[in-house]
Amino acid sequence: MSFWKHAFAVEPDGPAEPTPDQRAVIDVLCQRIVDRGMELPAILFLESSKPLGPMVAQSLLLLQPWFELVADRNQLAILTKFLDRRGSFDYLCGRLEELSARRNPHSTDADGPRTVGSTGT
């Protein structure tokens, strides 16, 4: 009966902690997004897709031939495994925000990060 102990267990709320391999793939992906100035659309997509997280991860497998243009099959498998975990989207959003803040240190003020449409006054 000990197999029932974890039958309905879920991962804790909050950001997931990636393995070193996952972290390396995620850092490269997030850095590419930030370098292109696409962190805000990426964060918007991730935040709006949180409830569909496992489906998004599985859809990456369907789109594998397209993603192989920018990443190899092993990297895609590592990313997909991470995205299947609860809290993975929170981690990705946080990582994009960190890299963006390093790239644009003047984009924040004493009140915190500026939002789209704010004038900073």
Residue 30's nearest CA partner among 84, 95, 90 is 95
Residue 75 lies in a domain: yes
Residue 8 lies in a domain: no
Q: What is the pLDDT of residues 21-46, one digit of tens each?
A: 999 999 998 999 999 999 999 999 98
pLDDT for 12 equals: 61
Q: CA–CA separation, 58 vs 77, rounded Å?
A: 10
Choose between 52 and 114: higher pLDDT: 52
Residue 93 lies in a domain: yes
Q: Total structural domains in the chain?
A: 1
Residue 114 lies in a domain: no
First to last CA, the chain: 62
Residue carrying structure tokens 């990313």: 79
Tell me the whole-structure pTM to 2 decimals: 0.70
Neighbours of 18 (CB within 10 A): 21
pLDDT for 118 equals: 46
